[in-house]
Structure 1
């Protein structure tokens, strides 16, 4: 049982951190460390279990990730083709395809360098592989914990339902992506009324872009009113131009209404965890719920969210990458 002690420590730290605030990125890292330490502990116990138990463990730890990586590469390239076909060739729509090509490119590079037999090239590519492994670890942590965070259900009544805006079609019409958020917010509103609670204030949040005829909040409010929501139950936040401003300006409105408010924030599911981190940073008293997104859109959007989170923590991440480069360089020179 001693082999599982480290996994238990990481799991306990995860539980304590999540209990304090479920919106921290460190929860995602602790989740990943728990999984890795548990996998190592299982491998250390293989000689103590029957073969029919040991073989599935080895398969899960080694074969599944290897085959899964290849399958993931194929899937991402296929998804990239779908994204280009349906959404156009904007750089953001190419992320899944680039990630898939990167997987196979890295595999090919490792094979070529191994055949070349160059000590310097081995060191350079080895260091690159370690950096890729670090970034991949963070991505899997982000992905796994974001999935868990998306299972959160807010209990009890809330005072406000904040719905984050996005671009409008034709400058004044709500697109399907945004309609999904509004529908989720309306569902929360109607569910609270159905159980006899007071009607929460629906708070569409979004300002007017340079290419838009009206503020996003105004278009969102009109959509909700057209769906039967009373106008007196809607308050507009129509100044924000970024997600950070969505949070800050919405918090100002909610605090002015009731300093002890409780809210939920609604966005699309791929954006929920990162939006939750922003809500925590802005001091918003509430969790973030995700609304459904088209399946083909989710991979590229999730990669984009991870890149943003990685860059938001760039001081730590770039510092660790720099340390890995220095260690790789030192190891190559001393070999």
Structure 2
């Protein structure tokens, strides 16, 4: 059982963190460490059982080793291939904007790292091996954080607010042709309607706040188009308020917070965005002091990989001091190794 002690410790820290505030990135890190320690504990138990099984145990150990080698080997080629395919689809459907290239670039990066590893093994160059090892360590650190982010973001999406709320805040995402609500934003509005109706069924209908200002290529504020979308489909206009000054997600939350705090100082709210954006919006809600959790609306499957990578990059940069320091130290170790003979 001692092999599972680290997993139990991190699971305890994870549970405490979620109970204190589920909108913390440390929860994601504790979740990732729990999974990794659990995997190592399971592996250790399997190895001990195999070692105690005589010849059969040796054969079982060989199968375990083969499986452990095969899984990452296949994943190293399958994952980047899927990312490249998704990147091509994103470019065809959404255009060549930088944000739409992220899955394609991630696939190229993984294949590039595989090529660098093969080249260092083939040439047996000491300096190239050091460069490869340093790059792999940095990539492993970033990959661990990405695993933590995507795993906990999935869990966060399953956690539903259970208490009564006073407001439902739907975040804007841009308009088509300067006036029309696009499918991505429509899914948020429909999700917001569902949250409103579920709360109204308890006998206390909340106020729904559409949040979004007017962009340079838009003919009206996003919040107005969002409110019109809802009322044209039967939503009660008296339960809609419009926040029409914000230009970013942070401003969405800050300006909506001001409206809610003025109307009811002890408010509770639910924030609605797309599922790929929910966890980062929750982190930002905590940062801006908004008293509410975030729920996500469905997103087209092809859009999800690039959007999720974009969200992770944003979270990574929000903690750039810690992350760049760790990556810098790993790179420094690599540079130092070049000069040590």
Query: TM range, normalised to the smaller chain?
Result: over 0.9
Aligned residues between the structures: 334
Match status 1:288 vs 2:300: no
**TM-score normalised by L of structure 1:** 0.95
Given the alignment, which residue of 242, 248, 251 partners 1:242? 248
Q: Which residue of 2 aligns with 1:253?
A: 259
Q: Which residue of 2 aligns with 1:108?
A: 115
Preserved contact between residue 80 and residue 94 of structure 1 (Cα < 8 Å): yes
**TM-score normalised by L of structure 2:** 0.94
- Unaligned regions of 5+ residues in structure 2, if any? 51-56
Preserved contact between residue 43 and residue 58 of structure 1 (Cα < 8 Å): no
Q: In the TM superposition, what are the counterparts of 1:1-335 in structure 2 within 5 Å?
A: 1-49=1-49, 61-194=68-201, 196-335=202-341
Higher mean C-alpha displacement, 36-45 vs 97-106: 36-45
Preserved contact between residue 157 and residue 197 of structure 1 (Cα < 8 Å): no
- Please give the alpha-carbon distance, in whole angstroms, between the structure 2 residues aligned to 1:273 and 1:247: 14
- CA deviation map 1:247-296 (0-9, x unaligned): 11111111111111111000000000000000000111111000000000
Higher mean C-alpha displacement, 297-306 vs 42-51: 42-51
Preserved contact between residue 158 and residue 264 of structure 1 (Cα < 8 Å): yes
Q: 1:204 to 1:57 in 2, by over 3 A?
A: farther
Higher mean C-alpha displacement, 44-53 vs 196-205: 44-53
**Per-residue deviation, 1:60:** 6.5
**Per-residue deviation, 1:193:** 2.2
- Please give the alpha-carbon distance, in whole angstroms, between the structure 2 residues aligned to 1:59 and 1:270: 35
- Please give the alpha-carbon distance, in whole angstroms, between the structure 2 residues aligned to 1:279 and 1:60: 42
Q: Which residue of 1 aligns with 2:54?
A: none
- Please give the alpha-carbon distance, in whole angstroms, between the structure 1 residues aligned to 2:76 and 2:82: 10
Q: 1:3 to 1:185 in 2, by over 3 A?
A: same
Higher mean C-alpha displacement, 68-77 vs 198-207: 68-77
Q: Which residue of 1 aligns with 2:53?
A: none
**Per-residue deviation, 1:306:** 0.6
CA RMSD of aligned residues (A): 1.7
**Per-residue deviation, 1:200:** 0.7
- CA deviation map 1:209-267 (0-9, x unaligned): 11111111111000110111111100111111100001111111111111111110000
- CA deviation map 1:24-50 (0-9, x unaligned): 111111111111111222222223325
SS of corresponding position for 1:261: coil
